[in-house]
Amino acid sequence: MKSSHQFWSSPGRFLPAALFAVALVAIAISCSPEKKEGIAEGEEWFKSYCTTCHGENGDGQSQMASMMNPPPKNLRQIAQRRNGVFPDAEISKIIAGVEKVPGHSTTDMPAWWEAFKKTEGITDDKVLQSKIDHITAYLKTIQE
């Protein structure tokens, strides 16, 4: 029988258990109630503010789409257009109106940072960023 010292000093025995523990912690964090609440709130905000143009499920098919030039993007394919990677920070900046893209942050699509200040009366920058991050988190969950 090996002593406990030999077990812990043998990286081959300890590494799989350590990796398993790290994976469990990562899963627990990703399923945290706060994250789920943020995604649910993001979905509510999306449905309140974005579906008019981007459609109920984010596919760009709305009653307004045919009247818009350029037409709204299919938000379900953001990651697909980016080689499978969802660019969280960039999407957050686009929603906020910090990063400009065609059809965004113009008279066609408001910069939501400023719009939320006016329509919702939110003045706290941390709260504004949280709302935008929650919409971004929701969009990440609807990727095809």
Q: How is residue 66 written in tokens?
A: 């045919």
Give the Cα separation of 42 and 59 in Å (integer). Answer: 16
- Averaged confidence pLDDT in the chain: 80
pLDDT at 24 over 50: no
Does domain 35-141 match CATH 3.40.50?
no
- Give me the amino acid identity at 130: S
The contacts of residue 103 (CB under 8 Å, 6+ apart) are 68, 70, 72, 73, 109
Higher pLDDT, 31 or 84: 84
N residues, the chain: 144
The residues, any chain, with a CB within 8 Å of residue 100's CB and separated by 6 or more, are none
- Where exactly are the structural domains of the chain? 1-31, 35-141
97: left (phi over 0), alpha (psi -120 to 50) or beta: left
Beta carbons of 70 and 82 less than 8 angstroms apart = no
User: How far apart (Å, rounded) are the C-alpha atoms in residues 62 and 69?
Assistant: 13
Q: What is the pLDDT of residues 119-132, one digit of tens each?
A: 889 889 999 999 99
How confident is the model over 72-89, as a mean pLDDT? Answer: 94
